[in-house]
């Protein structure tokens, strides 16, 4: 099942990068999810919510930290998160 999630993650990234590079984020996500379900090929979906959050949160945090030159307090403020919550999530994603 882990290979299926890796494949789905790759499909998610490809759908966004190749087909919808100038589309609104919501459209990219919708298209990627439709593609994900097509590629399940009869296998049950698992941990979709966590997978999707990881695909969105990690680059969001990375870009925000780059924007703030690594200032976690400012990044947390921009994101509307508590600094402790941001630090926990950064650790989760290895950022």
In the chain, CATH 1.10.10.60 sits at 48-95
Please give the Cα distance from 49 to 5 (Å, whole number). 12
pLDDT for 26: 87
Query: For residues 28 and 35, is the Cβ–Cβ distance under 8 A?
Result: no
Residue 19 vs residue 35, higher pLDDT: 35
pTM value > 0.75:
no
Range 48-95 classified under CATH 1.10.287.1080 = no
Locate tokens 């950064």: which residue? 90
Q: What is the mean pLDDT of the chain?
A: 84
CA 27 from centroid of its chain's CA atoms: 14
Cα 25 to the center of its chain, rounded Å:
11
Cα-based torsion angle of the residue sequence 76, 63, 30, 43 in order, rounded to the nearest 10 degrees: -90
Within 1-95, where are the H helices?
A: 2-14, 25-39, 48-67, 72-79, 83-92
- Residue 19 pLDDT: 57
């Amino acid at each position: 099942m882990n290979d299926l999630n890796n494949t789905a993650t790759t499909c998610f990234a490809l759908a966004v990068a190749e087909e919808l590079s100038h589309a609104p984020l919501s459209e990219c996500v919708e298209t990627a999810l439709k593609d994900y379900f097509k590629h399940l090929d009869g296998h049950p979906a698992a941990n979709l919510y966590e997978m999707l959050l990881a695909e969105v949160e990690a680059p969001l945090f990375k870009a925000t930290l780059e924007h703030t030159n690594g200032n976690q307090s400012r990044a947390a403020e921009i994101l509307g998160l508590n600094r402790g919550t941001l630090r926990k999530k950064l650790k989760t994603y290895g950022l």
